[in-house]
Amino acid sequence: MKPVWNEQQLEIRDYYEQVALQRVRPSAAERDQNLSFDRQIWRDLGASGLFGLHMPEEFGGQGLGLREFAAALEGFARGCQDMGVLVSFVAQVGLVQAGLLSYGSEQQKQRWLPGLIRGELLGSFAITEQGCGSDVRAMKLAAHQELDGFRLNGQKWNITNAPEADVVMTFAHVQDVGERSVSCFITATDVAGLERSEPFELLGNRGTPIGAFDFNDVLLPPSALVGEVGQGLDVLYFAFLVERVLTGLVITGCMEPLMEDCLQYSQERQAFGRPIGDNQYIQGQIVEMYCQVEVLRSVLLRAMDSMEQGEDCSSLASLVKMLATENLHQACINAIRIHGNSGYRRDQYFERLLRDSIGVFFAGGTIEIHRHVIWNNLISELNQGKRSRQGLNLGVYQKADVTAFTQPTEEALA
Ligand SMILES: Cc1cc2nc3c(=O)[nH]c(=O)nc-3n(C[C@H](O)[C@H](O)[C@H](O)COP(=O)(O)OP(=O)(O)OC[C@H]3O[C@@H](n4cnc5c(N)ncnc54)[C@H](O)[C@@H]3O)c2cc1C
pLDDT at 400: 65
> In the chain, which residues have pLDDT < 50?
none
pLDDT at 386: 74
Report the first-to-last Cα separation within the chain, whole angstroms.
40
The CATH number that domain 7-122 falls under is 1.10.540.10
CATH class for the domain made up of 233-388 = mainly alpha
pLDDT at 328: 97
**Ligand 1 atom nearest to CA at 132:** 26
Beta-sheet pairing, 270-271 with 123-126: unpaired
Rounded CA-CA distance 104/384 in Å is 31
Please, is 126 exposed, middle or buried when counting C-beta atoms within 10 Å of its C-beta (0-12, 13-18, 19+)?
buried
With residue 370 as reference, give the H or E element that holds it. helix 367-384
Q: How far is the CA of 261 from the centre of ligand 1 (A)?
A: 32
Q: Which of 17, 164, 243, 351 is catalytic?
A: 243
Handedness of CA 378, 382, 385, 387 (dihedral sign): negative
Residues of the chain with pLDDT > 70, as a percent, come to 97
- What is the phi/psi pair of residue 160, to 5°? -60, 135
Residues 6 or more apart in contact with residue 393 via CB below 8 angstroms: 102, 103, 234, 238
Spans of all domains in the chain: 7-122, 125-232, 233-388
Query: Which residues' Cβ are closer than 6 Å to ligand 1?
Result: 87, 91, 125-128, 133-134, 158-160, 205, 210, 359, 362-363, 365-366, 368-369, 372
Partners of 171 in the β-ladder:
184
Mean pLDDT, the chain, whole residue set:
95
Active site residue 308: no
Q: How many CA atoms lie within 13 A of 381 on its CB side?
A: 9
pLDDT at 414: 61
pLDDT at 392: 80
Q: What is the pLDDT of residues 98-123, one digit of tens each?
A: 999 999 999 999 999 999 999 999 99
Query: Which of 32, 124, 158 has the most ligand 1 atoms within 8 A of CB, as the residue to mutate?
Result: 158
Q: Is the distance from CB of 203 to CB of 353 less than 8 angstroms?
A: no
Q: Is the distance from CB of 126 to CB of 54 less than 8 angstroms?
A: no
pLDDT at 390: 72
C-alpha angle 152/157/158, rounded to 5°?
145
Q: How far is the CA of 363 from the centre of ligand 1 (A)?
A: 7
Q: How far is the CA of 134 from the centre of ligand 1 (A)?
A: 5
pLDDT at 341: 94
SS3 content of the chain, % helix, strand, coil (to 5): 55, 15, 30
Fold of 125-232: Butyryl-CoA Dehydrogenase, subunit A; domain 2 (2.40.110)
Tell me how far apart the 2 most distant CA atoms of the chain are, in Å: 80
